[in-house]
Amino acid sequence: MNKLHRFEIWSTLLLIVWLAALSVVTAFYGAQKTAIFFNSLPLAIYWLMLTGFLLAGLVTFRRLIRLPGLLLIHFGCVLILVGAMWGSASGHHLQKKLFGIDKVPFGYMMIYEGTAENHIIAEDDTVLAELPFSIYLKDFRIEYYSDESYLQVEKRAGIRDYFSDLILLEGEKQIARKTIEVNHPLHYGGYHFYQHLYDIEKGRYSLYTILTVYSDNGLNLVYAGYLMLSLGVLWQFWFRYIGAYLKRRVSGN
Amino acid sequence: MAIKYTIQGLLIYAALAVYAVAFVMMVLRFAKLGRVLYLIGFAFMIIAFGYRWYDVQHIPLQNLFEVFLALGMLVYPLSLFSRRLLQVGGEAVDMLIGVVLLIPLGFVFSAEPQKLPPALQSWLFAPHVAAYVFSYVIMAKATVQAVCQLYCTSGPVDKQQISFELGTYRMVCLGFPLLTIGLILGSWWGKLAWGDYWGWDPKEMWSLASWLVYITYFHFRYMYGKKYPRINSLLVILGMIVIVITLLWVNLSRLFAGMHSYAT
């Protein structure tokens, strides 16, 4: 191992250990503070460094190119990091400045039954963006496991699922219909729309639904990275050995 | 402490007793008898798990009771696989791991079946938790090998088996893909259920930390593994400590209340 290799792998190791330590410390903060911390400027520098060292490793360590499993793992990690940075709040800000892509990373939509809405709002009701299409709420529903659990309205344990029947409109024209529920969001126009909240006091008779809206920037990169990382670990740690084992058995007989 | 006077409870206690006796037999060098008892204990656990599945009408991996039920069942096939195909021993300790898993299962965790809340109704639920359950059992076995590497003066008793250092490495290699896939499936599910593939939730941070510890292990072993085998073993033990915190502390303590809290 030459000097360059040693420097690279030690730096990468330090970066990994540093991230592990930060993860443990921020686990005591709660999710909200942790998200703010990992999106701050010093951490942006950290993420860029980590990505840079991974790329440098791919260039200088021939082993990482020669073994397909290791190549998939490390390149997959690069894609995940790049996709995550692209999809972050700062990533959105940068894209607006550089390319004029005007999307909000995250927001809410509040829609009353029988009306259409096209504004993404913040938690304090200020308008963040106006969508080129609008969403019409036909009905908001809650299903319960049984009638008994419905009677205990204050206990949310008996709820089977929340539904919003949505119709997508462009002007007056109806483009699509979709019923969203927990675990089944709507994907349209570069955003994912999720069932989030309702009028808790009225329960199943709530007259409105609240959706959360997430931009899908960088998501395909992250998913591609996940796929490569999964295939990479399986190849590197399992399939290689299974292949060698089968070969041994065939030649042994 | 609560004793379970149900068929389920009795099956668990039977398995617990059989695992314990099997362990004692192994220590007394009645290896054959020990292995037969181990198999019987496994049979009890299969019935207990199948019964639970039938009882709650979904794959029983929702809360700590069900996860430990699966863990207690999986130690046997893992021992067998490791001994036959990876030349990694430590069966007697596996039986003891089984006993340690079944004690909280039988006496501490509540077996009250729960209806699935909306967020848990997803096909990703079973593979996400199952991948983690498998990987945790395997990492526990890796940790036993690592402790032996540090403290056992002689090598494995069975001469067919490999050294403890290599045994640790093989077990980590077996478990790491599952740990990775568990993390990725969880992230993908998070995107579908909560809106984001990473929520910075305490449980997520701890599971990321455990993944990173094993990453550190692989890189360190690749560079200096032959020179400092003891550090390799210490890293694997550290990984297990972080895993235990991820699995238990986050669910049991109010300190880390977060989005994973319904898995009580």
pLDDT, one tens digit per residue, over A95-139 is 999 998 889 999 999 999 999 999 999 989 899 999 999 999 999
Chain mean pLDDT for chain A: 90
Higher pLDDT: A64 or A201? It is A64
Asked whether the predicted pLDDT for residue A154 surpasses 50, the reply is no
Residue A165 CB partners (closer than 8 Å, separation 6+): A137, A138, A139, A140, A141, A177, A179
Higher pLDDT: B53 or A172? It is B53
Residue B177 CB partners (closer than 8 Å, separation 6+): A230, A233, A234, A237, A238
Say whether B208 and A145 touch across the interface (CB within 8 A): no
pLDDT at B1: 59
Higher pLDDT: B124 or B155? It is B124
**Chain B within 8 Å of A11 (Cβ-Cβ)?**
no
Q: Are B64 and B34 in contact (CB under 8 A)?
A: no
Average pLDDT over residues A217-233: 97
Query: Quick count: other Cβ atoms within 10 Å of Cβ A24?
Result: 19
Q: Given pLDDT bands bounded at 50, 70 and 90, which one contains residue B121? A: confident
Which residues in B lie closer than 8 A to residue A149 (C-beta atoms)?
A: 115
pLDDT at B36: 94
Asked whether the predicted pLDDT for residue B264 surpasses 50, the reply is no
Pull the structure tokens for residue A66. Answer: 């020669």
What is the distance between the terminal CA atoms of chain B, rounded to a whole angstrom?
Answer: 16
Which residue in A226, A90, A199, A185 sits closest to A142, CA to CA? A199
Among A25-39, B84-98, B156-170, which stretch is predicted with the lowest mean pLDDT? B156-170
Which residue in B242, B235, B249 sits closest to B209, CA to CA? B242
Distance from CA of A144 to the nearest CA of B (A): 10
Pull the structure tokens for residue A80. Answer: 């995940």
Of A1, A23, A212, which has the smallest distance from its Cβ to B195's Cβ? Answer: A212
Q: Hey, what amino acid is at B37?
A: L
**Chain B within 8 Å of A2 (Cβ-Cβ)?**
no
**A 185-244 → B contacts, CB under 8 A:** 185, 192, 194, 212, 214, 219, 222-223, 226, 229-230, 233-234, 237-238, 241
